[in-house]
Amino acid sequence: MGYLLGILLVSFIVNALTLIPFIGILYKLKLQRQHQKTKDVFNLPTPIFDNINNKKKGIPIGGGFLIIITVTIIFLLSFPILFYFWVPITSIYTNIASELKVLLFSFISFGLIGLYDDIKKIFLGKSDKFFGLSLKHKLLFEIILSSLISFWLYKELKIEIIHIPFIGVIDIGIFYIFFSTFVITSFANAFNITDGLDGLASGVLVIALIAFWVISNSILDTPLSLFIAIWLGALIAFLYFNIYPARIFLGDVGALSFGATFAVIGLLLGKTFSLIVIGGLFVAEILSSFLQLASKKYRNKKLIKVAPLHLWFQERGWHESTIVFRAWIGTIILSFIGLWLAFIR
């Protein structure tokens, strides 16, 4: 545990020292939040969403890009160091190389989709209906990547079971690929939807990852424990600059990458049910958006005035910081519940 805490601190220091000049670079490159005039999937304007979010115009986006770079480099450099100091590398999987491949591929590939979306929003203008990459194309790319990752989980790491507390383990065979694809794609979009207030998504992720860190240490999975430690150090440094009033945002490059990787870690830990509970805030956010869209389509009226939930609370007069802090507290409670469920046989 000592070496993990040390690597976490190294990651924190590296990111803390690089974030300030990185923010300056983003300003010079004009990678800043633009004025938005968006439309929903029914091609209808979203004035409440635009009015709330356009207050953040001009703040740099792309913090996720730096985190992906630093975490990946530190993660890869850590293994030779561990070998040098004779630190044992253990895993619940016999094919550690495949475990590393799944982790890094998820982290980087979803980030590339988000990076393209960020660049398109800022420099390439809008598409006809959407701000940035169209929902249809983005979802298609996400499903392709999620399917590939799911295939590796099933074929190379031999994962085909789901653990349900109080019931036991259920073997779903090849259907695990479809299940995993749905989970990864859903969490990628859920995180992206949640990332709308200063410190909301990144703070919730820090708390949730600490819970996953406890699980990974309990099963002695070095690659997962190491990756989570490095990621936590980077996120804590980023959160310092992302809390209200934010000086930098993750951007889609970070949101899509982090949501997908969070789901992949939950799947690798074999704790899908705990993933849904610990990531309950992300689930609530995407569920509120889905129910809103379904209500518009089938009832021809909104379920709530604006979705997702954090925007609804903001529209009702809650201060941004109040929403964020209460979301953090809620995630702390959900993490305790998720940990309890994770250790139930």
Output the known binding site for Mg(2+).
192, 252
53 with 87: CB under 8 angstroms?
A: no
Name the DSSP class of 174.
G
Helix (H, G, I), strand (E, B) or coil at 45: strand
The whole-angstrom separation of Cα 67 and Cα 229 is 13
Residue spans of alpha helices (H) in 29-95: 47-53, 63-84
Report which of 160, 161, 164, 112 is spatially closest to residue 138, judged by C-alpha positions: 112
- Rounded to an integer, what is the distance from CA 54 to the centroid of its chain? 23
> Cα separation of 266 and 314, whole Å?
30
CB neighbourhood size of 182 (10 A): 14
Q: In whole angstroms, what is the distance from residue 248 CA to residue 242 CA?
A: 6
Q: What does 157-193 look like in DSSP terms, one character per residue?
A: S---EEEETTTEEEE-GGGHHHHHHHHHHHHHHHHHH
Calpha distance 47→67 (Å, rounded): 32
Among 202, 194, 216, residue whose Cα is nearest residue 1? 216
Binding residues: 192, 252
